[in-house]
């Protein structure tokens, strides 16, 4: 099969490409305009898999470019995994039009092309953000979604709705929305990982960059939550486990096991972990002491969210390979790889 991965140079897209190349015979082609990534990602993918992935530097928000420069040139595509989106929750509040324009126009253009060029399998990157501040934990796929707090969250909820509406009208079109919880960690080689542009917002890159002196402070946002140590609980899931779920999801669609032509899956570990537990896991695997500060709650944060992942484990046969300490040690290995690159050592970066 020939699979289009959009956002293939990004954090989750690149790990998914590695998994596809390592575990299947599928051909992969990527579209990424490097809005939040760099072409060097494909050098790292090559160093890990031995394979060169072709990438089209195309902005998905331009329908004519997508149609003429990709679909007309590339020939038949068997399935699409759509990662490409802007993902900074805080930035989406200050730049809502940019987020709606990029995430929704990109999705709509891709779906127009999928219809025009008969691509029947579609996997969409959604997010646990659609559950908002759910009362019952863990959340299942039946837990009601809530009005999102941010434009980013809306783009995921609306994206899911567009797909489910399209699936109702086109029965040979099969789509899945995969709701990721908190993807963390890096490839086991330490040669590919998360490299956000600018100061990171997410906890794990802040931790590893703080430990390397790239950022000046590490603040625990909120210590008065009603949790076992007062800090917020999340479901941290290794990026390579998330990546592998996409290979299984493709197989699930391809073997027509799905009972309906649109469905939703939670991709989380099933474990709720506090912020302090993350910091302590990092300290354990790195043998470093983190000089963190305790601070107030961060606006918009929920107290607790973690997944019931039993639907993905049973229907997709998803088995988790990694835990929180694996995630922290691989993230740290990746950070040390980045430190080497910064110091001028020759690494594929």
Is residue 220 involved in binding ligand WQD (CB under 6 A)?
Answer: yes
What is the C-alpha to C-alpha distance for residues 249 and 255, in angstroms, rounded to an integer?
Answer: 10
| Token digits of residue 165 | 């509406």
Specify whether the backbone of 256 is left (phi greater than 0), alpha (psi in -120 to 50) or beta: left
Cβ-based neighbour number of residue 286 at 10 Å: 19
CB 278 → ligand WQD: shortest distance, Å? 7
- Cα 321–Cα 319–Cα 272 angle in degrees, nearest 5: 75
> Binding residue for ligand WQD (CB under 6 A) from 28, 110, 195, 206?
206
CB 164 within 8 A of CB 334: no
Report in angstroms how near the CB of residue 21 gets to ligand WQD at its nearest.
25
Q: Which H or E run contains 315?
A: helix 310-315
Out of 140, 164, 201, 339, the only residue in the binding site for ligand WQD (CB under 6 A) is 201
Q: In the complex, which residue's CB is closest to ligand WQD? A: 127
Considering the rule CB under 6 A, would residue 116 count as an interface residue with ligand WQD? no
The encoded tokens of residue 75 equal 């020939």
**What are phi and psi for residue 285, nearest 5 degrees?**
-75, -25
Q: Which of 152, 157, 151, 132 is nearest to 143 (CA)?
A: 132
Residue number closest to ligand NAD, CB atom:
10
Looking only at residues 53 through 72 of this chain, which bind ligand WQD when binding is defined by CB under 6 A? none
Residue from 44, 234, 238, 244 binding ligand WQD (CB under 6 A): 234
Is residue 307 a contact residue for ligand WQD (CB under 6 A)? no
Q: Which is nearer to ligand NAD, 41 or 227 (CB)?
A: 41
Active-site position among 99, 152, 154, 180: 152
Q: Which residues pair with 81 in a beta bridge?
A: 5, 123
Query: Binding to ligand WQD by residue 327, rule CB under 6 A?
Result: no
Query: Please, which residue, 9 or 77, has the CB nearer to ligand NAD?
Result: 9
The footprint of ligand WQD on residues 262-301 (CB under 6 A) is 275, 298, 301
For the chain, list the strands marked E by DSSP: 2-6, 27-31, 54-56, 79-82, 121-127, 174-180, 182-184, 219-221, 233-234, 236-238, 262-267, 273-274, 293-295
CA distance 39 to 101: 23
User: Is position 82 an interface residue for ligand WQD (rule: CB under 6 A)?
Assistant: no
Tell me how far, at minimum, the Cβ of 82 lies from ligand NAD, in Å: 7
Least separation in angstroms between residue 171's CB and ligand NAD is 26
Question: Residues 25-44 vs ligand WQD: string with x where CB under 6 A?
Answer: --------------------
Is 11 a known active-site residue? no
Nearer to ligand WQD, 30 or 274 (CB): 274
Q: Which of 15, 82, 87, 333 binds ligand WQD (CB under 6 A)?
A: 87
CB 14 within 8 A of CB 43: no
- Asked if 84 interacts with ligand WQD (CB under 6 A), we say no
Nearer to ligand NAD, 147 or 255 (CB): 147
Phi then psi dihedrals of residue 274, to 5 deg: -85, 165
Residues annotated as part of the active site: 152
Catalog residues that contact ligand WQD under the rule CB under 6 A: 87, 89, 127, 129, 182, 201-203, 206, 219-221, 232, 234, 275, 298, 301
């Amino acid at each position: 099969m020939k699979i289009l991965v959009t956002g293939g140079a990004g954090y989750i897209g690149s790990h998914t490409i590695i998994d596809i190349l390592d575990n299947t015979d599928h051909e992969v082609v990527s579209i990424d305009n490097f809005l939040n990534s760099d072409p060097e990602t494909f050098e790292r993918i090559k160093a890990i898999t031995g394979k060169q992935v072709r990438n089209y530097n195309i902005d998905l928000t331009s329908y004519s470019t997508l149609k003429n420069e990709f679909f007309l040139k590339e020939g038949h595509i068997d399935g699409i995994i759509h990662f490409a989106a802007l993902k900074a929750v805080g930035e989406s509040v200050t730049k809502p039009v940019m987020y709606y324009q990029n995430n929704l126009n990109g999705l709509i253009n891709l779906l127009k092309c999928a219809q025009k060029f008969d691509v029947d399998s579609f996997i969409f990157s959604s997010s646990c953000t659609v559950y908002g501040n759910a009362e019952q934990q863990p959340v299942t796929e039946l837990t009601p979604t809530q009005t999102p707090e941010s434009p980013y969250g809306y783009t995921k909820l609306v994206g899911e709705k567009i797909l489910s509406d399209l699936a109702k009208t086109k029965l040979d079109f099969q789509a899945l929305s995969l709701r990721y919880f908190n993807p963390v960690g890096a490839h086991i080689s330490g040669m590919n990982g998360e490299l956000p542009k600018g100061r990171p917002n997410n906890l794990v890159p802040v931790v590893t960059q703080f430990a390397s002196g790239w950022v000046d402070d590490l603040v625990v946002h909120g210590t008065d939550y009603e949790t076992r140590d007062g800090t917020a609980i999340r479901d941290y899931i290794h990026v390579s486990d998330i990546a592998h779920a996409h290979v299984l999801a493709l197989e699930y669609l391809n073997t027509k096991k799905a009972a309906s032509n649109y469905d939703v899956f939670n991709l989380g570990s099933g474990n709720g972990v506090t912020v302090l537990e993350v910091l302590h896991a990092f300290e354990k695997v790195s043998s470093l002491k983190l000089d963190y500060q305790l601070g107030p709650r961060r606006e918009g944060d929920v107290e607790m969210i973690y997944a019931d992942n039993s639907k993905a484990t049973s229907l997709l046969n998803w088995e988790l390979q990694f835990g929180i300490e694996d995630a922290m040690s691989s993230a740290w290995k990746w950070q040390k790889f980045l430190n080497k690159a910064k110091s001028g050592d020759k690494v594929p970066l």
